[in-house]
Structures are given as structure tokens and as C-alpha cells.
Amino acid sequence: MQRIGVFVCHCGTNIAGTIDVKAVAEALKNEPGVVFSTDYQYMCSQAGQDIIKNAIAEHKLTGIVVCSCSPRMHENTFRKTAAAAGLNSYMVEIANIREQCSWVHKEMPVGTEKAIILGKAAVAKVNLNAPLTPGESPVTKRALVIGGGIAGIQTALDIADAGFPVDIVETKPTIGGKMAQLDKTFPTLDCAACILTPKMVEVAQHENIRIFSYSEVSEIKGFVGNFDVTIKRRARYVKEDLCTGCGACTEKCPQKKVPNEFNLGMDNRRAIYIPFAQAVPKVATIDADYCTMLKTGKCGVCSKVCTAGAIDYQAKDEFVEEKYGAIVAATGFNPISMDKFDEYAYSQSKDVITSLEFERLTNAAGPTAGKLLRPSDGEHPHTIVFVQCVGSRCAACAEKGKEYCSKICCMYTAKHAMLTRDKYPDTDVYVFYIDVRTPGKAFDEFYRRAVEEYGVHYIKGMVGKVSPEGNKLKVQASDLIAGKQLHIDADLVVLAAAIEPDKSARPLATMLTASMDTNDFFTEAHPKLRPVESPTAGVFLSGTCQGPKDIPETVSQAGAAASKVIGLLAKDKLTGNPCVAHSDENMCNGCSTCGNVCPYGAITYEDKEFRMPDRTTKMRRIAVVNEAVCQGCGCCTVACMSGAMDLKGFMNKQIMAEVDAICK
Amino acid sequence: MLNKTERQKEQILRMSGVNPLKCMRCGKCSGTCPSYDEMEYHPHQFVYMVETGDIETLRNSDSIYKCLSCFACVDRCPRGVEPAKIVEAVRLTVIREKGANHLTANEIPALLDDETPQQLLMSAMRKYSK
């Protein structure tokens, strides 16, 4: 039998104003197991806590009930108080008579009655409480960052600077991501490469950072502090340690007709290539889909010109296994396909391009060496139409567009329009918009400068269709403010395509058992208060894999994710939450229901030998809960059909006892 | 009790199945409309005016007959508002009161020839046979 003490808090008048606290303390005195009951003005104050400590010692209490505010507020306080008096922290129960009682009732008799009932329920539960001890698990002091764009780079640098080793896994032959493809960055118009490439070099030279480029994560096992990850290093047919990045092979390779993905297919590269001059690692890669030697066994030019002897046609995919304490997803985004937007003639005319293609057309390292020329005939365009929200804010068809706002398009379109007018004042620039959304430091000023100083024509309305006619693009659009339909003969049409999470994010989320929203963006643990953590312990989010964001926001979030990782890796041991699920192996029939509903992947199954009454043994499949991974949500206990699964601290019989006490 | 305008609005929304509140006022319907210059009121205005109850103005305007029923606005609307259906519904409230059908299915074969696009006949059916 427990010896329970009850402590009723006045919370000034917060509780005592609507509840007769003395009556509550008096009524609970007669409950089974209660040996002491009192009330005090502020239980959470030092004096209040002393009352609890003294009562524990004096009355040899084995459990306490505090009738006070929400457990979210002070459960921890009272657990610490109990522990200081030598009582197990988990022998403390809170009856919430403030948020759930005094604040919602006006009449004292009603409030008092309910407070007594809530107190009785808590007493009934404490009678069944057992001391719980949190488990501990060690922490592997190494972090994995998946994705080598600006988000992954910043996260990796911040973690590495704090002294922890970091590995970056990047599917492309080089890190740098989308930012490496950009020309200038809004709103200050710094050259993207000039601010990004020093960071890439820093990553390459950092003693705590390893880069696995041209690689992908193929398997993730384990849990927070103890992830076992298999990384697939795709065969690049060039030995990374020998290649000097001289580029001789990329000049001599006879296969010249490979679409250059770095320039979005607007020019060609060779079958052996280095994506761009400042690539990190600066190592060549052979594209096996196009290499004549790999396809037919005849060629070998690159091997002949390579003075370092780095070419290895026999290379195979390799698998690296490594342990990590924390994993950061930084998988980034892509513009959506324009295939479903026939009304804009993207597939009919080379002169209808996406904004990312426009970036390459204006980039000094792009296919036109930075001269803005029409892709079809290389002429200078004199009339350019920018169309905003192509596929963004599109709720009509999930196949076609995305319901969300892509957030970055308003600003980059203003940038494109402004830069075009700056370099080519003889060009007419039209921007068709639904709304111009420019919240952000110096963002609206930037957009207004495009209009007021650079004379960009901003037109409220949408383009309905674009039809190629001769060497012109006939643009038909509405001007909602003038109440007119406009017909513009354009030379170039630029579509601000919506952005979507990279396709690798969904399978990665499955491996991580991290949750995603319907758009395949990773879900954060709390949309406001825990924005860089996944609900899955040990998994963190950096950059656009969590939602559309621009570079400043991505870098802030990347740093925030790094600080969370550092906080985790700085610990030697992780203290778990002891309120975790536990399966009674004698009752479990291994049906897998619990494993299917577990959002954290905490449940595995194993075959165990059971001794039968007739001295034979029998193998049976049973569920096993990994206590380090379990978050104590209780889904499995509800789903379990045999009643084998129970949640420590919230056992079925405890909850039934509470219900019984309330209904008595 | 609903007043006359509210009744008309309710009827138009029910007939068309359109929810004008879905409109984000981008104007792509009017940007795409091939009949724009023929119309006094344009597709986005139909959606807005039905929403605000300015329905008599639309009923008295020639615009309801100028819509080609090509449904380009329905196809391209990013929010799935389907403006042509609301134009059609306004038109039907007028046509039904007149009690006259202008085109029946039986009359169609006589009208078929190599020159006339089938889509035009379908549009005519939509306009004049309900």
C-alpha cells in the first residue's frame, strides 16, 4: 500500500478564487492510501516545495499528488522536489486544477467538485505507480549531413568548427547545390559564386569534414546517438586521390554531345567532366551512360591523356559503413517540371525558359558567357516577359502544380528584371504577378527599386497563353488594374517555376522514419518552437527540405540545426524518457500491428524460445521495444490486440483506475 | 428568407458547382480568354460579381452570349474555380426564364460539315440546350 501525500495549491487566486482549496484537501484525505493532505498559497515556491519535502520525510510518503497547474508548467519542478527528498521522480502525479478546472469554471461549488474528482483520479493513479529509472545510451560523436548545398555546407562547417567530425554525402560529383548555379543573390546582388565557393573550399580543407561526393545514403539503422549508416559511393571511374583536376581529360574526350545538367541542358559537356571550374572536390567523373569506353570498350582517350594515372575503367560502386550520433537532412529542392504547362509553350519554344535557366544565361560561367541571348537564335532579346507563380499557389491539380507559395520567386524575378534593365536598358521588361510578396529585410525596397529606378513594368494579372509565331512569342495576358487584355510580342518568356523537394527526400524520410507533409517537405517537431528538429530523435532539418526558403533563411536554419546537433554530440550519454512502451512477451503474439503504427520505428521483432508446460520448447515471434528510440506516444498500446503492449507510467490499469475514480 | 439577389446567387452556385471564394484573383482566366475583347464583363469579373451579388448586371449584359464555352479558363485556372461554368449558369438563368431551347441534339447532324469544328457544336449545345 502506498503512503500518499496530497498538496493543493492556491496559485494565489488563480485556483483559490474559484475552488475551495481547503475543501479539496479535506475531501482527498479520505481517499485510499492518502496519509497526509494540505494546501498552500504557492506550491511551486521554495516554501511550498519545502512543505512537500518535509512531509515526505515526516510521513514516510511513497507517492505524492500535487493539485496545481498543468503538468507542462511544473511537473518537472515537483519531480525534482521529490527527488531531492529521496522519492523517485515518477511517484509524482499532477492533478491539473487550474487550466482544466478553475480557469474554465465560474461557480465555486462546480469547480470544487471537479477539483476533488481530478484529485481522486490522480490519487488512484499514484496508488499503481512504480518507480521508474531512465535508461542511458552512449553518443557517437560524429554527424552526418545529407546534401551538400548551401544548407548542408553551413551545417557541416558549424558542427566541424565546434570540434566534431562531420561527413557530407552529396549525390552530385561536387558540393555547391543550387546556389552554385545562381548568378547574383538578392537583395544585395553579391555574386553567388563569390560568396559560396570560399565556403566550399573551407569545407574541403576542414580537418573535421569528409566529403562523400557522387554518393548516396543506402541504409540507416539505429537511433539517436547511435545511427549505423551505409553510404554508397558510386563508381566515378576516376581515382579521387590521384586526380589533380587539371581538366586535360575533359578537353580531349571525343564524346562531346552530352547535355550539360549544370547549365540545365542549354549546352553540352563531355562524357568525362568536372561540373564547373570551382567544383569541390575538383575531380573528374566519367558519365557511364555516355562513355564510349565503358559502353563499347573502344576509346580510352582520357586514360591516355591523364598524366596522374587516375582513370580506372574497372571501378565499382563501393559501400562505406559509418556510425553517427546525429543526422541532418539537407536534401534541397528542384524547380518543378513545366511539361504540364502547355499554355506557356515551354516545350514548343526554346525561348520560353525557367528562371533557373535564366540564371545560367546571365551567369558569366554559363553557356553564353553571361551575355543574355535567346537560346533559339542567339539574338539579343528586346522584350522579355516574366511570369510569376507558374505552378505555385496552384490548387486545381496536384499533378500540375503545388498549392503552396514557393516564396523565393517574387524576389528572384525582381532581381532578374532589375539586372536585365541595368545591363540592357534597351530591353522592355514585363513582370506579370498575382501578388508581390516581399517580406524580408530590404526586400520590398529592392522590388520597388526595380519599378522606380529601373522601369520594370509590373502588371497585376496573369499570362493566359504564349504562342510562338515566327521568331516572336505572342503573349496574351490580363491587366487587371487597367481592365484590359494585353497582347505582347515577346522575344523571351521566363517562367518562375514552383519549387518542390528533391525526389531523394521521400526515400530518405522512410529510412530515417522521419515524417513528411503531403508535399514531401520534412515535418518539424514543432512548427514554431522546434523548427529544425524532426520529430524523430537525432534527426535534424536544414534548408529547403523543410519548406521553401531563400539563402539568408537557409543559412540561419542551417546554423540552428548545427547548434542542435552540437548540443546532442556534446553529451557523453543520453538520458532517455522512462515512460516508454514495453511488451509483455508472454502475451505478445508477434502480429506486427504495433510495429506498423509506431511513428519512430522503435519496435522490432525477434524469435524467442519459450518453455512450455510439458517441458517442450517453442519458438515464438515477439515484439521488442527499443527504449532509446521510443518516445512514449502510446500508439502501440492502443493498437495492440492482445494487450501485451503497455506504456510505463501510463499503464492501461493506471488509466482505468483514473477513469474509475472519476466515474465513481 | 433570402432576397432575390441571394436566391439568384444560390441558384447560380448550385447549378455551376463553383465556389467563387476559391478565386485568388490572379486573372489568368481573363488572360486566357479568346473572347475577351467581345465581352463587356470578363471571366474574372463574372466570378467576382456573382460573389458580391452583382448578378442582374451580368444577366442584362451581352457578355453571357459572347463566352465561347471553350473552357480554356476552366483548364488553366490554378485554383480550380471553373469560371466558364459560372458564366454558363448565369446564362442559363436567363435562357430558362425565356423557356426556349435553341438547339436540340436532333438538329446537330444537319449542321455537321467539314468546315465546322465539332467543338463549336458542342459549345452551342452547352449554350442553348439546357
Residue A411 is predicted with a pLDDT of 98
Each residue of A565-589: pLDDT tens digit?
A: 999 999 999 888 899 999 999 999 9
Is B66 in CB contact (< 8 Å) with chain A? no
Residue A478 is predicted with a pLDDT of 96
Residues 6+ apart with CB under 8 A from A587: A642, A643, A644
**Do B69 and B82 sit in the same domain of this protein?**
yes
**CB-CB neighbours of A368 under 10 Å:** 18
**Do A159 and A120 sit in the same domain of this protein?**
no
CATH code for the domain in which residue B72 is found: 1.10.1060.10
**Do A245 and A230 sit in the same domain of this protein?**
no
**Which helix (H) or strand (E) covers residue B44, if one does?**
helix B43-52
Q: In chain A, whose CA is at the least distance from the CA of B25?
A: A434
Say if A184 falls within a structural domain.
Answer: yes
Each residue of B72-111: pLDDT tens digit?
A: 999 999 999 999 999 999 988 888 887 666 677 787 778 7
8 A C-beta contact, residue B56 and residue B48:
no
Structural domain count of chain B: 2
Is B85 in CB contact (< 8 Å) with chain A? no
Return the C-alpha cell found at A194. Answer: 563569390
What domain range includes position A140?
134-234+319-332+502-575
Strand bridging mode A215-223 / A226-233: antiparallel
Q: In chain B, whose CA is at the least distance from the CA of A480?
A: B27
Question: Which residue out of B47, B49, B66, B76 would a mutagenesis test of the A interface target, given it has the greatest number of A Cβ atoms within 10 Å?
Answer: B76
Average pLDDT of chain A is 95
Say if A254 falls within a structural domain.
Answer: yes
Return the C-alpha cell found at A241. Answer: 586521390
**Do A620 and A634 sit in the same domain of this protein?**
yes
Which of A393, A401, A461 lies at the smallest CB-CB distance from B24? A393
Residue B117 is predicted with a pLDDT of 67
**Burial degree of A384 (CB within 10 A; 0-12, 13-18, 19+):** buried
Closest residue by Cα to residue B28 from B66, B68, B92, B84: B84
**CB-CB neighbours of A485 under 10 Å:** 22
Distance in angstroms (rounded) separating the CA atoms of residues A467 and A593: 56
Say if A427 falls within a structural domain.
Answer: yes
**Do A585 and A530 sit in the same domain of this protein?**
no
**Do A456 and A349 sit in the same domain of this protein?**
yes
Say if A660 falls within a structural domain.
Answer: no
Q: Which DSSP state fits A526? A: B
What domain range includes position B107?
101-130
From chain A, pick out residues whose CB is under 8 angstroms from the CB of B25.
434, 480
Each residue of B17-69: pLDDT tens digit?
A: 999 999 999 999 999 999 999 999 999 999 999 999 999 999 999 999 899 88
pLDDT at A221 exceeding the cut of 90: no
Return the C-alpha cell found at A506. Answer: 521521400
From chain A, pick out residues whose CB is under 8 angstroms from the CB of B78.
389, 393-396, 401
Each residue of A480-504: pLDDT tens digit?
A: 999 999 999 999 999 999 999 999 9
pLDDT at B128 exceeding the cut of 80: no
Question: What is the ipTM for the molecules in this complex?
Answer: 0.83
Q: In chain A, whose CA is at the least distance from the CA of B29?
A: A464
Q: In chain A, whose CA is at the least distance from the CA of B43?
A: A478
Which of A395, A396, A462 lies at the smallest CB-CB distance from B31? A462
**Do A350 and A461 sit in the same domain of this protein?**
yes
**Do A60 and A82 sit in the same domain of this protein?**
yes
Inter-chain CB proximity B31 and A434 less than 8 Å = no
**Burial degree of A228 (CB within 10 A; 0-12, 13-18, 19+):** middle
Asked if the bond preceding A281 is cis, omega within 30° of 0, the reply is yes
Asked if the bond preceding A198 is cis, omega within 30° of 0, the reply is no
Say if A661 falls within a structural domain.
Answer: no
Return the C-alpha cell found at A514. Answer: 522521419
**Do A493 and A506 sit in the same domain of this protein?**
no
Inter-chain CB proximity A461 and B30 less than 8 Å = yes
Name the pLDDT band for B119 (thresholds 50, 70, 90): low
**Which helix (H) or strand (E) covers residue A269, if one does?**
strand A268-269
Q: Full-prediction pTM beyond 0.95?
A: no
The alpha-carbon gap from A475 to the nearest alpha carbon of chain B, in Å, equals: 9
Using N-to-C axis directions, what is the helix angle for A409-423 and A443-452, rounded to 10°?
40
Return the C-alpha cell found at B18. Answer: 463553383
Distance in angstroms (rounded) separating the CA atoms of residues B89 and B12: 5
From chain B, pick out residues whose CB is under 8 angstroms from the CB of A485.
30-31, 33, 36-37, 42
Structural domain count of chain A: 5
Return the C-alpha cell found at B12. Answer: 447560380
**Do B92 and B106 sit in the same domain of this protein?**
no
8 A C-beta contact, residue A132 and residue A88:
yes
Each residue of A427-437: pLDDT tens digit?
A: 999 999 999 99
Phi-psi region of A473 (alpha: psi -120 to 50; beta: other; left: phi over 0): beta
**Do B85 and B107 sit in the same domain of this protein?**
no
Inter-chain CB proximity A464 and B28 less than 8 Å = yes
Counting one residue from A and one from B, how many pairs have CB atoms under 8 Å apart?
A: 71
Return the C-alpha cell found at A308. Answer: 596522374
From chain B, pick out residues whose CB is under 8 angstroms from the CB of A483.
42
Name the pLDDT band for A629 (thresholds 50, 70, 90): confident
Each residue of A11-45: pLDDT tens digit?
A: 999 999 999 999 999 999 999 999 999 999 999 99
Question: Which residue out of B30, B63, B68, B77 would a mutagenesis test of the A interface target, given it has the greatest number of A Cβ atoms within 10 Å?
Answer: B30
**Do B88 and B68 sit in the same domain of this protein?**
yes
- Percent of chain A at pLDDT > 90 equals 92
Name the pLDDT band for A526 (thresholds 50, 70, 90): confident
Residues on chain A bordering chain B, Cβ-to-Cβ distance under 8 angstroms: 343, 389, 393-397, 401, 432, 434, 460-465, 476-478, 480, 483, 485
**Do A242 and A228 sit in the same domain of this protein?**
no
CATH code for the domain in which residue A268 is found: 3.30.70.20
Distance in angstroms (rounded) separating the CA atoms of residues A624 and A622: 7
**Do B80 and B63 sit in the same domain of this protein?**
yes
From chain A, pick out residues whose CB is under 8 angstroms from the CB of B68.
none
Residue A464 is predicted with a pLDDT of 96
**Do B129 and B68 sit in the same domain of this protein?**
no
Residue B96 is predicted with a pLDDT of 81
pLDDT at A46 exceeding the cut of 60: yes
**Do B122 and B112 sit in the same domain of this protein?**
yes
